[in-house]
Structures are given as structure tokens and as C-alpha cells.
């Protein structure tokens, strides 16, 4: 089955710096990738997604990069703000078109 892992359980960045959160997946047939943000006491919220026919997609202050060769996905947050503090999850579709979630990276923003 699909396995999804994040490289770091915790990431601490200075306010204003850029943040990069990485994710690795195992199934080369996966074709849909999504990043969620989860704040304390809330459900996960959609940030950005990308399909396998693209290798980069940009949103407001966020960019997702997909490297299908090494099965790696990253989320870049520009000019990180205190409101960006949360746990970030990547998720990848599996054979049943369900989502398999990674373990989450806690982003802490230092003022």
C-alpha cells in the first residue's frame, strides 16, 4: 500500500523567513497530492493541491513542488507569519483513490 512520510516532525522558522516542508511518498502510480494545514482544535484545511501532470503550482504565498522521479513533494511558504503556525500534512491518493496522510510537520514561527 501507499506510505507517506514527512522528513521533519517539527520546523522552527523566524517570522518573515521562507518555510519549506517536505514529504515523500512510495507509490509511483499516485497522481494527486494535497497539502493541509491543521490549527489546534480544528480540522485540516486545504492549502493547495497538484496533479501529476504538473511539477509546480503556486497559490497565495504558497508553492507546491512535485518531483515524481524521486517521489518527493514540498510545500514552500513565503514570508512566514505567526498565523502560519500549525501542523501541516501532505496527502497522496492511493489505489482506491482515497487519500493517505503523512505524519504531519509542526511549524513554529518565532517572532
Instruction: List residues near another protein by CB under 8 A.
Output: 1, 4, 31-32, 34, 36, 41-46, 49, 87, 89, 93, 97-104, 106
| Minimum CB distance to another protein, residue 93 (Å) | 3
Tell me how far, at minimum, the Cβ of 7 lies from another protein, in Å.
14
SS3 per-residue string spanning the chain: CCCEEECCCEEEEECCCCEEEEEEECCCCCCEEEEEEECCCCCCEEEEEEECCCCEEECCCEEEEEECCCCEEEEEECCCCHHHCEEEEEEEECCCCCEEECCCEEEEEEC
Quote the least distance from Cβ 98 to another protein, whole Å.
Answer: 6
Amino acid at each position: 500500500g501507499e506510505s507517506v512520510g514527512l522528513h521533519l516532525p517539527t520546523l522552527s522558522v523566524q517570522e518573515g523567513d521562507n518555510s519549506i516542508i517536505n514529504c515523500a511518498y512510495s507509490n509511483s502510480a499516485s497522481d494527486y497530492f494535497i497539502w493541509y494545514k491543521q490549527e489546534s482544535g480544528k480540522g485540516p484545511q486545504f492549502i493547495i493541491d497538484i496533479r501529476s501532470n504538473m511539477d509546480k503550482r503556486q497559490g497565495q504565498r504558497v508553492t507546491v513542488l512535485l518531483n515524481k522521479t524521486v517521489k518527493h513533494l514540498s510545500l514552500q511558504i513565503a514570508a512566514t507569519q505567526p498565523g502560519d503556525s500549525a501542523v501541516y500534512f501532505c496527502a497522496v491518493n492511493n489505489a482506491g483513490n482515497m487519500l493517505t496522510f503523512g505524519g504531519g510537520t509542526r511549524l513554529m514561527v518565532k517572532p
